[in-house]
Chain A
Amino acid sequence: QVQLVQSGAEVKTPGASAKISCKASGYTLTNHYTHWVRLAPGQGLEWMGTIDPSGSWTNSAQMFQDRVTMTRDLSTSTFYMELSSLTSDDTAVYYCAREAALAAKNFDYWGQGTLVTVSS
Chain B
Amino acid sequence: QSALTQPASVSGSPGQSITISCTGTSSDVGTQKFVSWYQQHPGKAPKLIIYEGSKRPSGISNRFSGSKSGNTASLTISGLQAEDEADYYCCSFSTSDTSAYVFGSGTKVTVL
Contacts and interface: CB of A to CB of B under 8 A. Distances in A.
Interface in B11-43: 34, 36, 38, 40
B99 interface: yes
The size bracket of the interface on A is 20 to 34
Contacts of A46: 3, 103
A112 interface: yes
Interface residues of B, number: 26
Interface in A84-120: 95, 97, 100, 104-108, 110-113
Given A45-B103, A61-B1, A62-B97, A113 B45 contact: yes
A101 to B, nearest CB: 10
A107 B103 contact: no
Contacts of A50: 100
By Cβ-Cβ distance, the 10 closest A-B pairs, closest first, are: A105-B34, A110-B45, A47-B101, A106-B36, A44-B106, A106-B51, A61-B99, A45-B103, A62-B98, A105-B93
Interface of A: 35, 37, 44-47, 50, 59, 61-63, 95, 97, 100, 104-108, 110-113
